[in-house]
Structures are given as C-alpha cells and as structure tokens.
C-alpha cells in the first residue's frame, strides 16, 4: 500500500469514527417539556428516527411548543399535544415529514411518537406520549399497515405523564372530544445538553 492510500484510509477511518460519534451523540439528545403539571424529559433517538427527531428539534428551537396545550388525553392510551393554543387556535406548521414507523422502536409505555392523519406521511408538529403499551400502533400490527413513528422515550417525569393522563376530560367541541377540563400547557420546550 502506498503512502497516499494509507493516508486516505486513515482519513476515511477518522471520518467514519467522527460520524459514528456524532450519530451516537445525536441519538442521546434530551428535550425538556416544562408543563403546568411538572417537567418531562425525553431522550430522542436520532439514529433510528432521524427525520422525526430533526423535525421535532426544529419545532422546539423555534419555540413552537411554548404555550401549547395537551388537547387530547385518553387515560389508558396516550396524551397528545403540539398543535393548539389554549384558545384552540392551531399553530402554523412546516411541511409534513415521511413516516419512520419501521425503525425498530415500539409504541410502549413512556415512548413519544409522531401524531398524523390517515395519510401516513402527514406528521408535522403534533406528538403523543404512550401511557400504556400500544402494540396496535406499531407498523407490523397496524390496521392501515403503516403505524406511528416512535422517536424517543421519557427518561424523567413519567409521574407527570401519569398526572396528565389521569386528569378529568370532557368534550369541548366535536373536534376535541377528549379535552382536559383543566388546561395543561407546555410552558416551554428546550433542547438540553446531550448526555
């Protein structure tokens, strides 16, 4: 092997190592949701759900989630937020992202997943936290064959999630049949330093 080839291989190895390190670091990004019920910390998995994580972080950094409510709470299912202010005005969103539901992450208790419409590639800013194991939301079990993309998990504050899921709900309008009677807000969402 000549000197040029050896140097090229060494550079490639260093570049590969750097990419692996940055990918691993990205995979451990933490987002803190400071809510009126308490703090929830979520570890994001950029390695397995890169588009969902990048999308979520962009909304967090833009301040999109600050002042939004948990508008859909179903105790033995999930809690959902990311779309509406307390006066039920929907925040503008960016373009939808592709579905990443076949990434090896399952909709189990404490995981966070992208909410979407019947169009598999319609997720924008709304997300939910599974309050129980929901295997029927995983792609391999889903009725529509697509499922919902998990992109992280709660690492602190499941007691806050449980407090939110246990809050009394009532229909507000036809579009909001599972609205908490007491408004629960995300005061601020922030990206914290990586582990």
* Residuewise pLDDT in 10s, the chain (195 residues): 444 444 444 444 443 444 444 444 444 699 999 999 999 999 999 999 999 999 999 999 999 999 999 999 999 999 999 999 999 999 999 999 999 999 999 999 999 999 999 999 999 999 999 999 999 999 999 999 999 999 999 999 999 999 999 999 999 999 999 999 999 999 999 999 665
The Cα 138–Cα 157 span in angstroms is 24
Query: Can you tell me the distance from the alpha carbon of 65 to that of 189, in angstroms, rounded to the nearest whole number?
Result: 6
Alpha-carbon distance of 191 to 32, in angstroms, equals 6
- What is the pTM assigned to this prediction? 0.86
């Amino acid at each position: 092997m000549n000197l040029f080839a050896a140097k090229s291989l060494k550079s490639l190895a260093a570049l590969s190592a750097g990419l692996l390190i940055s990918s691993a670091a990205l995979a451990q990004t933490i987002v803190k949701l400071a809510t009126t019920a308490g703090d929830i910390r979520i570890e994001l998995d950029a390695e397995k759900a890169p588009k969902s994580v990048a999308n979520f972080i962009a909304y967090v950094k833009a301040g999109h989630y600050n002042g939004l409510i948990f508008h859909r709470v179903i105790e033995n299912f999930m809690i959902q937020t990311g779309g509406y202010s307390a006066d039920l005005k929907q925040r503008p969103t960016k373009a939808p992202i592709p579905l990443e539901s076949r990434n090896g992450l399952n909709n189990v208790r404490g995981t966070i997943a992208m909410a979407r419409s019947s169009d598999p590639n319609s997720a924008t800013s709304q997300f939910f936290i599974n309050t129980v194991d929901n295997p029927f939301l995983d792609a391999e079990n889903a009725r529509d064959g697509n499922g919902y993309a998990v992109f992280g998990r709660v690492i602190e504050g499941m007691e806050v999630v449980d407090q939110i899921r246990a809050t009394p709900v009532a229909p507000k309008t036809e579009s909001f049949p599972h609205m908490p009677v007491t408004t629960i807000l995300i005061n601020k969402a922030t990206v914290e330093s990586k582990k």
